[in-house]
Amino acid sequence: MRFFDHNATTPLWAEAKAAWVEANEMHWLNPSSPYRSAAAVHAQLEQGRERLAVLFDVDPRRIVFNSGATEGNNAVFATWAKMLKATDRVVVGVTEHPSVLAAAERYFEGRIDWLPADPAGVVGPATAEWSDASAISVMAANNETGVLNPWQDWLAACRECGIPMHCDASQWIGKMPLDGLGNCDYVTGCAHKFGGPKGVGFLIMPEGSAVGLAGGAQERGRRAGTEDVAGILALVAAVEVADSKRLGCSDKHKMAFLAALEQSLPGVQVIGDRQHTLWNTVEIIMPQFKSARWIRALEKKACLVSAGSACSTGKQGTSHVLAALGVDADAAGRALRLSSGWETSAEDWEVLLGAILESFRELETDAAEPGSQVISI
């Protein structure tokens, strides 16, 4: 299979698997147990935290390990709900991940100001009025379109206003440079987006109180529950691998693919400004045929692509991200998200191109056949 859905999830790096297996053999004791052998496991956990802190250039005490981005994003708004005044409003980008949108709605119902996206999908400080904000949540890179938000500008603006900033960097980490990201007050990270295991992630946050799971002193009282040391060490191994491999990655193959695609398949529309997009991601609107038919046809040719966020699959209606970009429902129904990985080759992109062109001919033939019945999936 040629896998073009790395924004949904990623295969586990060998290094991450090795770290998990080793931890379960060597460091499986409960790090809170009172004997020295358990203290050694606790030391492994703290060494993992320090390695991650080095990558982000933050104080290790700011890192809280958790079960993934959804928990991290929920914890940010739960913490703000406790920390801010009952009348305070939060400002949230319209293109955020569903877990940010839903957490904001749960904890700040009626007190959310939405930041619009510009026509290229970018959510920037210049695009909206937000001076009433008491806290801001803007993602680093969009999961569906790959569009990069100017989080550095947001951070500068938040510092000027003296309000906290949250950056969901789930899609940024492992693909883009980490420099400066740790300066955001809150940063969400998720292992399975960069080749780590599912079920583990982290939230960089200010020291001090936070509202995570209640019931234990773990993670400096900010997230109760026995620490998943094996998952955490696998996460750290994975981010180190991804952050190193990304140095050899660029959008070169993707750009060549897009140029060839646009030439061969007139009417294809590329979403966003392709210069300000993750190197691995592109969302395209196909000239004809629903996303689901494309996905099925391409899977038969051993190419896996997506229609949008895996998390919103199964939901009714148009992608909120495409809607925010002014894409109409009909066009949004023809969207494909292509997201490559650290080891995707020029050949993989060429195979995908061939598969798309061949699928197009087949779908056209199917449609032209009298009496052809397309079974909706």
Residues 70-109 that bind its own copies (CB under 8 A): 70-71, 73-74, 97-103, 105-106
Q: How far is the CB of 311 from its own copies (least distance, A)?
A: 4
Whichever of 262 and 362 has its CB closer to its own copies, that residue is 362
Among 150, 206, 225, 354, binds its own copies (CB under 8 A): 225
Which tokens is 320 given?
């909120």
**What binding mask, one character per residue, do residues 147-186 give for its own copies by CB under 8 A, x or -?**
----------------------------------------
Q: How many CA atoms lie within 13 A of 109 on its CB side?
A: 1
Size of the site for its own copies (CB under 8 A): 71
Per CB under 8 A, the segment of 69-77, 118-126, 129-137, 237-245 that binds its own copies is 69-77
143 binds its own copies (CB under 8 A): no
Q: How far is the CB of 6 from its own copies (least distance, A)?
A: 10
Among 32, 152, 269, 318, binds its own copies (CB under 8 A): 32
15 binds its own copies (CB under 8 A): no
Whichever of 255 and 331 has its CB closer to its own copies, that residue is 331
318 binds its own copies (CB under 8 A): no
Give the separation between CA 245 and CA 155, rounded to whole angstroms.
27
Q: How far is the CB of 66 from its own copies (least distance, A)?
A: 8
Per CB under 8 A, the segment of 86-94, 240-248, 264-272, 308-316 that binds its own copies is 308-316
Per CB under 8 A, the segment of 10-18, 118-126, 138-146, 365-373 that binds its own copies is 10-18
Q: What is the arrangement of strands in the sheet containing 186-190, beginning at the earlier edge strand?
A: 63-66, 201-204, 186-190, 165-168, 133-137, 89-93, 112-115
Among 9, 152, 269, 318, binds its own copies (CB under 8 A): 9
